[in-house]
Amino acid sequence: MPTANDYTTNGFAITADTVLLTVRNGQLSVLLVERGNDPYKGHWALPGGFVDLNEDLDDAARRELAEETGVSLEPSHLEQLCSYGTPGRDPRQRIVTVAYLAFVGVPTIPVAGDDASAARFFAIDDLNIAGSETGTGTALAFDHAQILADGVERARAKLEYSTLATAFVDETFTLGELRRVYEAVWGMPLHEANFRRKVLGTQGFVEPTGETAPTEGRPAQLYRKGAATTLHPPILRPTRDQPDE
């Protein structure tokens, strides 16, 4: 098994890093690993690592995620985010990182790292990234704060026009659970009745199972993901009504 040092040449190296998002305790959260080696030893970073010379990019992202965190992903649940290759972003050599984005529900995640010294979830609001108002002092390695910020914004946008939200809940779920996903990712409360009307009015978004689940109040109908992947019409974020200006 190659280690990072095998790739330290005088040419380019490629890494594949993954922004794995989930919703835990009502908060949008990301899976990070603590780096066990320099550079940035002891800092938290996105799981990922060097792409092998005969390995496809997304295969590398899945392999590194599994090695460092124990999380195994279906190939379909991984989408490319962006690539980052500014000279100097890694002090060792010229490295171009292809970043991926993944969305999972909480119960599917057995976090246990092999290569990294630790792996755990952080609430986005507790990290210092662009687009997050609060944030204490957890400084991410490399330019991973920027990558994470780009991934969070992509996720927020995709909730509007895709069925992505169903990736964050169990196989069956209530509309309240689905709404709390939207609220956690967008960071704002939604109107319960209107949300229900929009979701049920969008063909193929969810379909009822006929069963109910207990809640604190009245039991809720259970739904499962429908056949649609894109939403017509989209479910838009509430008014960010100031034009650019």
203 binds its own copies (CB under 8 A): yes
- Looking at the chain, how many residues does it have? 245
The listed partner (its own copies, DNA, none) that binds 230, CB under 5 to 8 Å by sort, is its own copies
200 binds its own copies (CB under 8 A): no
Which of 221, 224, 226, 228 binds DNA (CB under 7 A)? It is 221
- Considering only residues 164-203, where is the footprint of DNA by CB under 7 A? 174-177, 191-194, 196-198, 200-201
212 binds its own copies (CB under 8 A): no
Q: What are the CB-based long-range contacts (under 8 Å, 24+) for 123-127?
A: 123/24, 123/25, 123/27, 123/28, 123/29, 124/27, 124/28, 124/29, 124/30, 124/148, 124/152, 125/27, 125/28, 125/187, 127/30
| Residue 91, preceding peptide bond in cis (omega within 30° of 0) | no
Residues that bind its own copies (CB under 8 A): 9-14, 51, 53-57, 80, 82-83, 85-87, 94, 96, 98, 203-204, 227-230, 232, 240-241, 243-245
Residues that bind DNA (CB under 7 A): 174-177, 191-194, 196-198, 200-201, 212, 214-221, 233, 235-236, 238-239
